[in-house]
Amino acid sequence: MDPDLSQLDSLLAETGADAYCIDADSADSNQLYLSGFDAPDPFFTAYTGDSLAVLVSGLEYGRASKESRADTVARLAEYDHYERVDEYGEAEGTARTYATFLADLDAESVLVPDRFPVGVADGLRDRGVDVGVDHDDVVEMVRATKTPEEVDHVKRAQDANEAAMGAAEELIRAADVDADGTLVVEGDPLTSERVQEEIEVTLLRHGCSLDETIVACGADAADPHDRGSGPLSANETIIIDIFPRGKASKYHADMTRTFVKGEASEEVRRRFEVTHRALEAAFDALEPGATGADVHDAVCDLYEEEGYETLRSDSTTETGFIHSTGHGVGLDVHEAPGLNPRGGELKPGHVVTIEPGLYDPEVGGVRIEDIAVVTEDGYENFTDYPVELELE
Amino acid sequence: MDPDLSQLDSLLAETGADAYCIDADSADSNQLYLSGFDAPDPFFTAYTGDSLAVLVSGLEYGRASKESRADTVARLAEYDHYERVDEYGEAEGTARTYATFLADLDAESVLVPDRFPVGVADGLRDRGVDVGVDHDDVVEMVRATKTPEEVDHVKRAQDANEAAMGAAEELIRAADVDADGTLVVEGDPLTSERVQEEIEVTLLRHGCSLDETIVACGADAADPHDRGSGPLSANETIIIDIFPRGKASKYHADMTRTFVKGEASEEVRRRFEVTHRALEAAFDALEPGATGADVHDAVCDLYEEEGYETLRSDSTTETGFIHSTGHGVGLDVHEAPGLNPRGGELKPGHVVTIEPGLYDPEVGGVRIEDIAVVTEDGYENFTDYPVELELE
């Protein structure tokens, strides 16, 4: 894929910087996107507007030459890097190597992202390179708008996600309930961990990997970042939030459903119904030209009307709607744009989740999350999974 | 686990810095180790020697209070962070919040790791905080020496690793060979991807996750970082390198074996036998007081004696022994200490891999990797998997 780097070109032109530089491994999605190179150890990328150059170890040279988007692939050894490190130590040696590399690109002043390593920045400055910080993270801004190919990557990850959610739902449906109200499968308690394993195996079988899955029941579900553990109980909310990554494409999907095995309480049913309406309210507000803040406000309006607290009505509340409405999804599972109080203008090609939820340790947690792409005239919700609370 | 932070205390005392600070999510192992808190979004940790304080979002407050090692858990909202961001923007707002947090800890000068974000460092400096860079990465140095509990975490991950390698070996053994020399299972070509899937599912079933696995055949195997793809062939080397992470413990293991389905060439057999001897030569050199460079030299000596090139004999070679001998393993799959030309003194509690290998696109790749812990009087190799080249 050839990204549209015109925003980055404009930034270089406006600031007069000679190059935009990243020093990171490809777990940093800006590095992966800009360089097009997937590598486990940090490497240095410099984009001058005219050309893209990467500086890698000898071990990565062959792959970088074949796989990266760079016009120039250089090896650390060509720059006498190891001799410099022996003479000046790792930090100063590296700075000297990078400064020489930049001099070869005629780059005397560079821009770097906010999270560029300070040790390298200080070292470059000591060697006379003017290092400015791009606080607005232009590469993440570029990444926010997806090409049709990128949208397709997310859709394929979402297909796998739906298969995994189906496997999890099936496990819970098939479980029996013992006298204590614990879910039981073949005589053993059905645990969060067992359901997570089923989800993760299903994702692997569908070409996706993932680091974490949330299967959180009861009080665990009342903490939006609790991943859940231990036996699952009947008649309590079980939040399942799955955010796989396509192993080949590296793009994520993200979806949440809330289930109750057996019977939900009156209050849980009400929260689920209000949250479902909050999801619809957010989608009603989702269109190009609206802001992420508009979408978030639509959800807060509804929750507050229905008598629930939000971080907008009380910034210190620990119950109610205590997170943002959604986020961009792509190489990172959380990326721009944000659907939150500071969310900016939405544009066609933005891929976002909508995930309203209500939390209270006394009641449990309820969250419903779909994923969609903003289009020229609205949005396309490409989540194909029922929204249903109670499972037999 | 309560880590021994005396090295960090000494560094603070020597430099006169009031605190050591990390701003990262827990994918940064220094953050995970120092804070004891596993969180997907960046948060700020300050260690003053007397106490450990973390500053997190409201969303993480509950979990951080329960799960982190911090004596003090503060919320961004307590520091009027969101008002500051509205007034000054994300970057300056964050710097102002952190500066106020540090002032509350009486920290006027701080040390940060090399990879601390330059945007935050510059912002703190603008607010009068003296920010020094710890180029030696003291937290990684502390992490290098494992407690018995940490060694046990690595051993449990290695148990899962051996189960996964067994599953992979079994698949290859069970395959038929078609007329083209391609491995076939139930009528379909046996691919790298299929073997990787089997490995990853086995690891999940044993409580481990992983991002990548190498199953590389033929010319792919000649590039040490190539993960491999496509159908596997008989009579060619297949390198399988598995580095899982315990899902609960977060500690890694790492092991490599090289297989040939059918018959290996004379040269491959010789390379395998020399590499096996190189593994033994490295272990002979592995003991407390020796350096990582000593262990690496033992491998280079043998390879060079046997007529193979190494990066020591020719720093630009692309064939022969073209990587280091090994690395520490823990929260990161690659961490201190390094068994390479710059590797320092080895100490009891260091967990390292030994992974000599030879590469040549004309011949394929051969690598054998075991994992061991340095003990008071030598080492304990806790890899329990045969070293065998040819599979029937």
- Is the Cβ pair B135, A322 closer than 8 Å? no
**What is the tens place of the pLDDT at every residue in A250-288?**
999 999 999 999 999 999 999 999 999 999 999 999 999
Which tokens hold the place of A329? 């999804």
DSSP B355-388: --EEEETTTEEEE-BEEEEEETTEEEE-------
Cβ(B160)–Cβ(B153) under 8 Å?
A: no
CA angle, A148 as apex, A323 and A385 as ends, to 5°? 50
Of B116, B118, B197, the CB nearest to A205: B197
With CA atoms as reference, report the closest residue to B63 among A341, A329, A226, A123. A226
Residue B1 has pLDDT above 80, yes or no: no
Q: What is the CATH number of domain A6-143?
A: 3.40.350.10
To the nearest whole Å, the CA of B375 is away from the closest chain A CA by 28
Instruction: Find residues 247-286 of chain A whose CB sits inside 8 Å of chain B.
Output: none
CA angle, A205 as apex, A203 and A210 as ends, to 5°? 30
**What is the tens place of the pLDDT at every residue in B43-85?**
999 999 999 999 999 889 989 999 999 999 999 999 999 899 9
Which tokens hold the place of A128? 């006379």
CA A75 to chain centre: 31
- Is the Cβ pair A197, B211 closer than 8 Å? no
ipTM entry: 0.90
User: A13 — contact with chain B (CB < 8 Å)?
Assistant: no
Residue B226: its pLDDT value, please? 87
Q: B92 to chain A: which residues are within 8 Å by CB?
A: 135
Candidates B201, B225, B340, partner chain A, best to mutate (most A CBs within 10 A):
B225
d(CA A217, CA A240): 9
To the nearest whole Å, the CA of A138 is away from the closest chain B CA by 14
To the nearest whole Å, the CA of A214 is away from the closest chain B CA by 13
With CA atoms as reference, report the closest residue to B387 among B249, B257, B254, B241. B257
**What is the tens place of the pLDDT at every residue in B240-291?**
999 999 999 999 999 999 999 999 999 999 999 999 999 999 999 999 999 9
Cβ(B380)–Cβ(B373) under 8 Å?
A: yes
The backbone torsions φ and ψ at residue A374, rounded to the nearest 5 degrees and listed phi first, read: -70, 130
Can you give the residue ranges of every domain in chain A?
Answer: 6-143, 145-391
Residue A356: is the preceding peptide bond cis (ω within 30°)?
Answer: no
Please, which residues bridge with residue B379 across strands? B374
d(CA B300, CA B326): 12
**What is the tens place of the pLDDT at every residue in B290-343?**
999 999 999 999 999 999 999 999 988 989 999 999 999 999 999 999 999 999
**What sections of chain B are H helices per DSSP?**
6-15, 29-35, 58-67, 81-104, 118-126, 138-144, 148-174, 192-205, 266-285, 292-305
Candidates A118, A131, A332, partner chain B, best to mutate (most B CBs within 10 A):
A118
What HEC string does A161-196 produce?
HHHHHHHHHHHHHHCEECCCCEEEECCEECEHHHHH
- Is the Cβ pair A223, B82 closer than 8 Å? no
Confidence grade of residue B42 (pLDDT, cut at 50, 70, 90)? very high
Question: Which class in CATH covers the domain with range B145-391?
Answer: alpha beta
Please, which residues bridge with residue A244 across strands? none
User: A125 — contact with chain B (CB < 8 Å)?
Assistant: no
pLDDT < 50: residue spans in chain A = none
- Is the Cβ pair B135, A90 closer than 8 Å? yes
In the three-class reduction of DSSP (H, G, I as helix; E, B as strand; rest coil), residue B372 is classed as strand
H-run or E-run covering A275: helix A266-285
Which tokens hold the place of A71? 């016009």
Please compute the mean of the pLDDT values over residues B345-361 and round it to a whole number.
97
Q: B226 to chain A: which residues are within 8 Å by CB?
A: 63
d(CA A219, CA A237): 9
Q: A334 to chain B: which residues are within 8 Å by CB?
A: 40-41
Residue B211 has pLDDT above 80, yes or no: no
Which tokens hold the place of A241? 């939030």
Enumerate residues 6+ apart whose C-beta is below 8 A from A153.
A246, A249, A250, A251
Q: A81 to chain B: which residues are within 8 Å by CB?
A: none
Please compute the mean of the pLDDT values over residues B206-224 and round it to a whole number.
89
**What is the tens place of the pLDDT at every residue in B178-192?**
999 999 999 999 999
- Is the Cβ pair B116, A114 closer than 8 Å? no
Enumerate residues 6+ apart whose C-beta is below 8 A from B55.
B43, B44, B45, B46, B74, B75, B76, B79, B97, B98, B101
To the nearest whole Å, the CA of A223 is away from the closest chain B CA by 8
Enumerate residues 6+ apart whose C-beta is below 8 A from A252.
A154, A157, A243, A244, A245, A246, A329, A330, A331, A332, A333
User: B27 — contact with chain A (CB < 8 Å)?
Assistant: yes
Q: B292 to chain A: which residues are within 8 Å by CB?
A: none
d(CA B35, CA A212): 20
Residue B87: its pLDDT value, please? 93
**What is the tens place of the pLDDT at every residue in B132-177?**
999 999 999 999 999 999 999 999 999 999 999 999 999 999 999 9
Which tokens hold the place of B14? 């020597």
**C-alpha distances in Å from residue A335, one per residue of A331, B18, B236, B243:** 8, 34, 43, 28
Which tokens hold the place of B391? 């599979």
d(CA A214, CA A211): 10
In the three-class reduction of DSSP (H, G, I as helix; E, B as strand; rest coil), residue A64 is classed as helix
Q: B133 to chain A: which residues are within 8 Å by CB?
A: 91, 118-119, 122
Residue A251: its pLDDT value, please? 98
Q: A80 to chain B: which residues are within 8 Å by CB?
A: none
To the nearest whole Å, the CA of B224 is away from the closest chain A CA by 7
The residue whose two tokens read 């790792």 is: A90
Which tokens hold the place of A132? 């400015």
To the nearest whole Å, the CA of A388 is away from the closest chain B CA by 26
User: B315 — contact with chain A (CB < 8 Å)?
Assistant: yes
d(CA B32, CA B21): 13
Residue A49: CB atoms within 10 Å? 16
- Is the Cβ pair B77, A316 closer than 8 Å? yes
Residue A156: its pLDDT value, please? 98
- Is the Cβ pair A200, B204 closer than 8 Å? yes
User: A135 — contact with chain B (CB < 8 Å)?
Assistant: yes
Q: Which residue of B has its CA nearest to A60?
A: B225
To the nearest whole Å, the CA of A377 is away from the closest chain B CA by 30
Residue A1: its pLDDT value, please? 72
